[in-house]
Amino acid sequence: MDPAANVSTGTGVNAVSHSVLTDEAVARFQRLGFLVVTGLTTPGDLETVSRLLAGLYRRFHELAGARRAHDLGSEQHNARPILEINQTVDLEPQLADTLTFKRCAALAERLLGRDVEYRFDHAIYKPAFNGAATSWHQDEAYALERKILSAHFWVPLQDVTRDMGCMEFIPGSHRGALWRHHRRDRLRDAHALEVVGLDTSQAVPCPIRAGDATVHFPRTVHYTGPNRTGTPRLAWALEFGPRRGLGVRVMAKARLVWRRATR
């Protein structure tokens, strides 16, 4: 069966078109902490993004040596590789010229109600028949500051079903406290974090088609499941926040460099 056959864009729960982002949709994002955005970009633009990311993945071992990339699968026993590359826009600036990047930035301005700037991005490649999940977590747990305001987009490069590991969210979780996290599987050298003691009974899965995206707040609790299909899953995640002064940006960049060097 075609994996796309099981994709019901946005599950009908919280989906909006990128071209018709109404005040009601913005209010829904503020209330629930996430949205599905349909028709974010074009097949041709996704091909460009895929080509540029493929060039970085060919350098994965070099980037891992420079602490710009990680095998998240190596943190789990008997897991196949899950390859993450951080700050792909810094490594391949042409990514900032893509329609995907530009539309995410424009949507972030609409959702946050102010001018924004690029903050961070990463790509994650999850091979076919990979039993490892990306644990339930809040992006804010990785940040060096708390109560950050930003919009975090997740853009798959192919149709993504729940069996392939689509995004799942806990509605309204961004309005609560930052949960306690520990390193995944309690491994001391694990890169990934996971929430402790979470009730996931209200989780909303968001299968989407290529060209769509999800967007959430940094405190929204979310997860992607194992890839149980025969199709590899590649996703590009981008973060945009309110524009800051030059001094603040320089300090933030220095903190990222220090964190990467000491992790």
Q: Tokens 């026993």 appear where? A: 77
pLDDT of residue 174: 81
Mean pLDDT of the chain: 84
Q: What is the CATH number of the domain that holds 28?
A: 2.60.120.620
pLDDT of residue 142: 72
DSSP string for 155-217: EESS-B-TTTT-EEE-TTGGGSPPPPEEEGGG-TT-S-EEESS---TT-EEE-B-BTBEEEE-
pLDDT of residue 80: 75
d(CA 190, CA 170): 24
Inside any domain, residue 11: no
Q: What's the average model confidence in pLDDT over 229-252? A: 82
pLDDT of residue 148: 79
What is the pairing mode between strands 193-195 and 167-169?
unpaired
pTM assigned to the model:
0.85
**Which residues, 6+ apart, have CB-to-CB distance to 40 below 8 Å?**
18, 100, 103, 104, 107, 155, 211, 212, 213
**Which residues, 6+ apart, have CB-to-CB distance to 127 below 8 Å?**
80, 81, 82, 227, 232
Q: What percent of the chain has pLDDT over 90?
A: 62
Inside any domain, residue 89: yes
Inside any domain, residue 23: yes
Torsions phi, psi of 38, nearest 5?
-90, 150
Res. 6: pLDDT tops 60: no
At 131-175, the pLDDT tens digits run 888 888 888 877 766 667 999 999 999 999 999 999 999 999 988
The alpha carbon torsion through 110, 114, 120, 126 (nearest 10 deg) reads -20
Inside any domain, residue 9: no
> How many of the other CB atoms lie within 10 Å of CB of 12?
8
pLDDT of residue 141: 79
At 96-131, the pLDDT tens digits run 999 999 999 999 999 999 999 999 999 999 999 998
Res. 10: pLDDT tops 50: no
What's the total number of domains in the chain?
1
Torsions phi, psi of 70, nearest 5?
-145, 145
Which residue range is the domain that position 226 belongs to? 16-262
169: region left, alpha or beta (phi > 0 left; psi from -120 to 50 alpha): beta
Inside any domain, residue 7: no
Tokens (6 digits) for 223? 């997860």
Looking at residue 95, the DSSP 8-state letter turns out to be G
Inside any domain, residue 49: yes
Considering only 18-27, 156-165, 200-209, 246-255, which range has the smallest mean pLDDT?
246-255
